Amino acid sequence: MDSDGQYEQQVVWAVVGTGIGPLLLAATREGLVNVVFHATDAVRDKALARLASRLGAEPVEAPGSPLLAEAIRQVGSYFSGRRQAFELPLDWSLTSGFNRQVLRELAAGVPYGAVVGYGDLAGRVGQPGAAQAVGTAMGSNPLPVVVPCHRVVESDGGIGGFGGGLETKRKLLALEGVLPEPLF
Protein backbone atom coordinates (compact mmCIF):
# COMPACT_ATOMS: atom_id res chain seq x y z
CA MET A 1 0.00 0.00 0.00
CA ASP A 2 1.08 3.57 -0.51
CA SER A 3 1.06 6.26 2.20
CA ASP A 4 -2.64 6.97 1.62
CA GLY A 5 -3.60 3.35 2.21
CA GLN A 6 -4.27 2.75 -1.49
CA TYR A 7 -2.99 -0.31 -3.30
CA GLU A 8 -0.29 0.60 -5.75
CA GLN A 9 -0.68 -0.74 -9.26
CA GLN A 10 1.47 -3.81 -9.80
CA VAL A 11 2.39 -4.94 -13.30
CA VAL A 12 4.35 -8.16 -13.80
CA TRP A 13 5.53 -9.66 -17.07
CA ALA A 14 7.23 -12.62 -18.66
CA VAL A 15 8.14 -13.70 -22.18
CA VAL A 16 7.05 -17.18 -23.19
CA GLY A 17 8.04 -19.18 -26.25
CA THR A 18 5.18 -20.31 -28.50
CA GLY A 19 4.59 -21.80 -31.93
CA ILE A 20 4.29 -18.26 -33.31
CA GLY A 21 7.38 -16.89 -31.58
CA PRO A 22 7.91 -15.21 -28.22
CA LEU A 23 4.88 -13.62 -26.56
CA LEU A 24 5.11 -11.06 -23.80
CA LEU A 25 2.41 -11.61 -21.18
CA ALA A 26 1.72 -8.86 -18.64
CA ALA A 27 -0.69 -8.97 -15.72
CA THR A 28 -2.03 -6.80 -12.92
CA ARG A 29 -3.95 -7.82 -9.80
CA GLU A 30 -7.08 -7.60 -11.98
CA GLY A 31 -5.85 -10.13 -14.52
CA LEU A 32 -3.98 -10.48 -17.78
CA VAL A 33 -3.62 -6.96 -19.21
CA ASN A 34 -1.42 -7.32 -22.29
CA VAL A 35 -0.16 -9.89 -24.80
CA VAL A 36 2.48 -8.72 -27.27
CA PHE A 37 3.58 -10.62 -30.39
CA HIS A 38 7.18 -11.10 -31.54
CA ALA A 39 8.58 -10.08 -28.13
CA THR A 40 12.21 -9.63 -29.13
CA ASP A 41 14.25 -7.31 -26.89
CA ALA A 42 13.37 -4.16 -28.85
CA VAL A 43 9.64 -4.99 -29.11
CA ARG A 44 9.55 -6.00 -25.45
CA ASP A 45 11.24 -2.80 -24.28
CA LYS A 46 8.86 -0.62 -26.29
CA ALA A 47 5.81 -2.54 -25.00
CA LEU A 48 7.00 -2.28 -21.38
CA ALA A 49 7.56 1.48 -21.72
CA ARG A 50 4.05 1.85 -23.17
CA LEU A 51 2.59 -0.22 -20.31
CA ALA A 52 4.43 1.86 -17.69
CA SER A 53 3.05 5.04 -19.27
CA ARG A 54 -0.53 3.77 -19.61
CA LEU A 55 -0.78 2.01 -16.23
CA GLY A 56 1.35 4.34 -14.11
CA ALA A 57 3.59 1.57 -12.78
CA GLU A 58 6.93 0.18 -13.88
CA PRO A 59 6.41 -3.41 -15.08
CA VAL A 60 8.54 -5.98 -13.24
CA GLU A 61 9.83 -9.17 -14.87
CA ALA A 62 8.37 -11.96 -12.75
CA PRO A 63 7.84 -15.22 -14.67
CA GLY A 64 7.16 -17.02 -11.39
CA SER A 65 4.49 -14.56 -10.23
CA PRO A 66 1.15 -16.05 -9.21
CA LEU A 67 -0.42 -13.27 -11.28
CA LEU A 68 1.09 -14.84 -14.43
CA ALA A 69 1.24 -18.54 -13.59
CA GLU A 70 -2.18 -19.52 -14.90
CA ALA A 71 -1.86 -17.39 -18.04
CA ILE A 72 1.51 -18.97 -18.84
CA ARG A 73 0.06 -22.44 -18.27
CA GLN A 74 -3.02 -21.82 -20.42
CA VAL A 75 -1.04 -20.22 -23.27
CA GLY A 76 1.24 -23.27 -23.29
CA SER A 77 -1.76 -25.60 -23.35
CA TYR A 78 -3.34 -23.65 -26.20
CA PHE A 79 -0.24 -23.86 -28.38
CA SER A 80 0.19 -27.56 -27.65
CA GLY A 81 -3.40 -28.21 -28.80
CA ARG A 82 -4.70 -29.16 -25.35
CA ARG A 83 -6.78 -26.01 -24.71
CA GLN A 84 -9.47 -24.43 -26.83
CA ALA A 85 -10.76 -21.71 -24.50
CA PHE A 86 -8.97 -19.38 -22.14
CA GLU A 87 -10.40 -19.11 -18.65
CA LEU A 88 -8.45 -16.21 -17.22
CA PRO A 89 -9.31 -13.01 -15.41
CA LEU A 90 -8.71 -10.15 -17.82
CA ASP A 91 -7.82 -6.55 -17.01
CA TRP A 92 -9.61 -4.49 -19.66
CA SER A 93 -8.04 -1.17 -18.59
CA LEU A 94 -6.08 -0.72 -21.86
CA THR A 95 -9.26 -0.48 -23.93
CA SER A 96 -12.59 1.30 -23.59
CA GLY A 97 -15.81 2.26 -25.32
CA PHE A 98 -16.69 0.62 -28.63
CA ASN A 99 -13.37 -1.23 -28.82
CA ARG A 100 -13.93 -2.86 -25.40
CA GLN A 101 -17.50 -3.77 -26.33
CA VAL A 102 -16.37 -5.44 -29.57
CA LEU A 103 -13.46 -7.27 -27.90
CA ARG A 104 -15.69 -8.58 -25.10
CA GLU A 105 -18.19 -9.87 -27.67
CA LEU A 106 -15.39 -11.50 -29.63
CA ALA A 107 -14.01 -13.20 -26.51
CA ALA A 108 -17.43 -14.48 -25.45
CA GLY A 109 -19.03 -15.22 -28.79
CA VAL A 110 -16.50 -16.59 -31.29
CA PRO A 111 -15.24 -19.99 -30.16
CA TYR A 112 -12.12 -21.93 -31.10
CA GLY A 113 -12.24 -23.14 -34.70
CA ALA A 114 -14.81 -20.53 -35.78
CA VAL A 115 -14.44 -17.22 -37.59
CA VAL A 116 -16.61 -14.13 -37.88
CA GLY A 117 -16.67 -11.32 -40.42
CA TYR A 118 -15.87 -7.74 -39.43
CA GLY A 119 -19.39 -6.64 -40.39
CA ASP A 120 -21.00 -9.57 -38.60
CA LEU A 121 -19.14 -8.69 -35.42
CA ALA A 122 -20.22 -5.06 -35.80
CA GLY A 123 -23.83 -6.24 -36.07
CA ARG A 124 -23.48 -8.33 -32.91
CA VAL A 125 -22.71 -5.17 -30.92
CA GLY A 126 -25.57 -3.24 -32.50
CA GLN A 127 -23.49 -1.26 -35.02
CA PRO A 128 -24.08 -3.08 -38.34
CA GLY A 129 -22.36 -0.42 -40.44
CA ALA A 130 -19.21 -0.31 -38.33
CA ALA A 131 -17.06 -3.00 -40.00
CA GLN A 132 -14.10 -0.60 -40.36
CA ALA A 133 -14.38 0.39 -36.71
CA VAL A 134 -14.29 -3.31 -35.81
CA GLY A 135 -11.07 -3.58 -37.81
CA THR A 136 -9.65 -0.71 -35.77
CA ALA A 137 -10.72 -2.45 -32.55
CA MET A 138 -8.97 -5.64 -33.67
CA GLY A 139 -5.80 -3.68 -34.44
CA SER A 140 -5.79 -2.15 -30.96
CA ASN A 141 -6.57 -5.40 -29.11
CA PRO A 142 -4.28 -5.44 -26.05
CA LEU A 143 -4.91 -9.17 -25.50
CA PRO A 144 -4.43 -10.96 -28.84
CA VAL A 145 -4.62 -14.76 -28.89
CA VAL A 146 -6.52 -14.75 -25.55
CA VAL A 147 -9.10 -12.35 -27.03
CA PRO A 148 -9.01 -14.01 -30.47
CA CYS A 149 -8.83 -11.20 -33.01
CA HIS A 150 -7.24 -13.73 -35.38
CA ARG A 151 -10.75 -15.21 -35.77
CA VAL A 152 -12.08 -12.06 -37.48
CA VAL A 153 -11.94 -12.28 -41.27
CA GLU A 154 -13.30 -10.52 -44.33
CA SER A 155 -16.84 -11.35 -45.42
CA ASP A 156 -15.63 -12.26 -48.93
CA GLY A 157 -13.44 -15.02 -47.53
CA GLY A 158 -10.24 -13.00 -47.31
CA ILE A 159 -8.09 -13.37 -44.24
CA GLY A 160 -8.10 -9.65 -43.39
CA GLY A 161 -5.35 -7.81 -41.57
CA PHE A 162 -3.58 -8.69 -38.36
CA GLY A 163 -1.34 -6.78 -35.96
CA GLY A 164 0.88 -9.81 -35.47
CA GLY A 165 1.36 -10.23 -39.21
CA LEU A 166 -0.57 -12.34 -41.70
CA GLU A 167 1.70 -15.37 -41.31
CA THR A 168 0.99 -15.37 -37.57
CA LYS A 169 -2.75 -15.11 -38.25
CA ARG A 170 -2.54 -18.04 -40.68
CA LYS A 171 -0.64 -20.14 -38.10
CA LEU A 172 -3.24 -19.42 -35.41
CA LEU A 173 -6.12 -20.28 -37.76
CA ALA A 174 -4.29 -23.47 -38.82
CA LEU A 175 -3.76 -24.41 -35.16
CA GLU A 176 -7.52 -24.09 -34.68
CA GLY A 177 -8.29 -26.12 -37.83
CA VAL A 178 -9.79 -23.21 -39.79
CA LEU A 179 -6.99 -23.24 -42.38
CA PRO A 180 -4.79 -26.11 -43.52
CA GLU A 181 -1.29 -26.28 -42.06
CA PRO A 182 1.23 -24.62 -44.36
CA LEU A 183 3.08 -27.12 -46.53
CA PHE A 184 6.45 -25.53 -45.81
> Over the stretch 155-173, which tens digit does the pLDDT of each residue have?
888 898 898 999 999 999 9
pTM: 0.92
Question: Tell me, what's the pLDDT at 183?
Answer: 59
Q: Is residue 144 a contact partner of residue 37, using CB atoms and an 8 Å limit? A: yes
Question: Tell me, what's the pLDDT at 9?
Answer: 78
Which of 33, 106, 149, 153 is an active site residue?
149
Question: Tell me, what's the pLDDT at 157?
Answer: 82
- Please, what's the b/e burial string for 81-102 (b: 16 or more CB within 10 A of its CB; e: otherwise)? eeeeebebebbbbbbeebbebb
How far is the C-alpha of 165 from the C-alpha of 91, rounded, in Å? 24
Q: List beta partners, residue 62.
A: none
Residue 7's pLDDT band (cuts 50, 70, 90): low
The reply to whether 94 belongs to the active site is no
Residue 157 has a CB neighbour count (10 Å cut-off) of 8
